[in-house]
Amino acid sequence: MILPPHLTADDLDRYTAQVFTTGPETARAVAPFTGAALPAVPQSSAADVALAAGRARVGQGAWAARPLSDRARFALDFGELLLAESDKLVDLVQWETGKSRIHAGIELIGVASVAAHYGAEAAGYLAPRAVRSGVPGIVQARVTRHAKGLVGVIAPWNYPLFLAVGDVIPALVAGNAVLSKADSQAPLTLLAARELAVRAGLPEDVWQVVAGPGSRLGQAIIAQVDHLAFTGSTATGRRLAAAAGERLISTSLELGGKNPMIVRADANLDAVVTGAVQACFASAGQMCIGIERIYVHESLYPAFLEKLVKATGEIRMGASYDYDVELGSLTSAEQLAVTVEHVADAVAGGATVAAGGRARPELGPFFFEPTVLTGVRPGMKVYAEETFGPVVAVYPYVDDEDAITRANDTEYGLSASVWGRDLAAAHAVAARVQAGAVNINDGYLSAISSLSAPMGGMKASGVGRRHAADGILRFTETQTTTSQRVSTPYPSRSKKYLNGYLKATRLVVLTQLKAARRKARKDIA
């Protein structure tokens, strides 16, 4: 087996030894660059999931009892180790997903940034806070946060560091133990990160990793955990949410997207084209927040299409562990098949391939050219279904109302992009787009990299948010504690006393309403 440049056989032995399993079964994925088998990874059973969960729960109590400052320091140490071992980790991401090195490197920097963010901000997010009580001056009310207990994390193959480990970090900092399912295509990346977490000071029991197909392990994980963080397809998310609902455990779900870009009449075309190429084709289009639909004002449409086709044709493709290519491979035969099917179906229905449109087997088994389509219409698969490949459809539109209506004509609502020089007008458009994040004069990166802002989807694109306060508070339970200086008995049952009590209480509430109205007027002004 030919290994990527910075990895050794000893590295692989250490990584695979971390899978929690009691059986002999192993499985191998396929390396996208070559089609050769990747290293064998031990496989877990449903019984192993229960055992791993039990071990994690044993360690969780002591971990949660540590000062928050210790857990935050772990996050910072972990982030530094991720950067120190970046060559090996980026090799693994490329080996398992087929990404170009630039896109794998951006992923690593992203997860290290998440570690830095929660290492610095967790104390503020999790701090107890005093709130106004129902009887100010007599009753004090305090809100505190407590760890859920055991968090299950199921993440996809397309971002095996940023999505999988990025959810683990805040869960651990909040005081939880974590049970991760390593994706069958990209288990080594997650296992390498887990090894670094232990080196950074995390007790081994607190983060357990099982490996195996979701059909075998998904339900078993839900049966054991107190919260499920899932990133993946909307169809799978619905099934997992239903199963979690049976146990009444909380979930956070980031699901699919068919993300639009709106190019207004006053946009800078050269800037838009650069942004579109990045947003549509990064990681070979296998990105839940990537752009798959572009709506261009009719006055700019011909010029924009010409520039986009030219820029798309200049993208350098290839299988390389260096920075000499811009676009890598699709990750699997299944993803290539979906991409080929969507393009072929569109062409059969009358759409035009303006750029790309072909598989490139001479570069590797799963390569597909970055593709621009025009003339896409309802009924074509690529029109409404998520392709998750390097394919974008471009449409002209008449005015803002037309663009907004068409951008929102989807079950999804994950991410969107609006371009224009008039920022006030662009913000007005963005406010009406139904998406959890809208990037103005950028494709997707500015929102996902703003770690102090929550990230997630509307509609069928998910429930809950990652990043910012939302990203760590989802892994906690809220507890309200009240204390009284003196006893406040319930009112007497006598009519005379009860009538007086209700009159006095009514006066207090009326005063509160008037004060709230004055505050609202002041805030609006």
CATH number for the domain including 90?
3.40.605.10
- Residues 178 and 295 occupy one common structural domain: no
519 assigned to some structural domain: no
- Residues 189 and 310 occupy one common structural domain: no
From the list 288, 292, 326, 386, the catalytic residue is 288
pLDDT string in tens for the chain (525-residue length): 899 999 999 999 999 999 999 999 999 999 999 999 999 999 999 999 999 999 999 999 999 999 999 999 999 999 999 999 999 999 999 999 999 999 999 999 999 999 999 999 999 999 999 998 887 888 899 999 999 999 999 999 999 999 999 999 999 999 999 999 999 999 999 999 999 999 999 999 999 999 999 999 999 999 999 999 999 999 999 999 999 999 999 999 999 999 999 999 999 999 999 999 999 999 999 999 999 999 999 999 999 999 999 999 999 999 999 999 999 999 999 999 999 999 999 999 999 999 999 999 999 999 999 999 999 999 999 999 999 999 999 999 999 999 999 999 999 999 999 999 999 999 999 999 999 999 999 999 999 999 999 999 999 999 999 999 999 999 999 999 999 887 766 666 677 777 787 888 888 889 889 998 998 988 887
- Residues 179 and 276 occupy one common structural domain: no
DSSP for 188-204 reads HHHHHHHHHHHHTT--G
Is residue 288 flagged as an active site residue? yes
- Residues 274 and 248 occupy one common structural domain: no
**CA angle at residue 437 from 404 to 405, to 5 degrees?**
10
- Residues 438 and 290 occupy one common structural domain: yes
CA-wise closest residue to 159 among 228, 91, 104:
104
- Residues 240 and 340 occupy one common structural domain: no
Distance between CA atoms of residues 73 and 2, nearest Å: 37
2 assigned to some structural domain: no
- Residues 83 and 194 occupy one common structural domain: yes
Query: Can you read off the two tokens belonging to residue 55?
Result: 């071990």
Enclosing domain of residue 46: 9-255+468-477
From the list 85, 96, 121, 254, the catalytic residue is 254
Distance between CA atoms of residues 510 and 519, nearest Å: 14
- Residues 243 and 280 occupy one common structural domain: no
Is residue 254 flagged as an active site residue? yes
User: Tokens 């100010």 — which residue?
Assistant: 136
367 assigned to some structural domain: yes
Q: What is the CATH number of the domain that holds 354?
A: 3.40.309.10
User: Tokens 């009719």 — which residue?
Assistant: 298
324 assigned to some structural domain: yes
- Residues 236 and 271 occupy one common structural domain: no
Alpha-carbon Rg for the chain in angstroms: 26
378 assigned to some structural domain: yes
- Residues 402 and 351 occupy one common structural domain: yes
User: Tokens 């590295």 — which residue?
Assistant: 11
- Residues 183 and 302 occupy one common structural domain: no
Q: Which of 398, 427, 456 is the last residue of a domain?
A: 456
502 assigned to some structural domain: no
Instruction: Count up the domains in the chain and report the number.
Output: 2
264 assigned to some structural domain: yes
392 assigned to some structural domain: yes
Name residues whose C-beta falls within 8 Å of residue 495's C-beta, 6 or more positions apart in sequence.
Answer: none
- Residues 120 and 224 occupy one common structural domain: yes
Q: What is the pTM of this model?
A: 0.95
Name residues whose C-beta falls within 8 Å of residue 239's C-beta, 6 or more positions apart in sequence.
Answer: 218
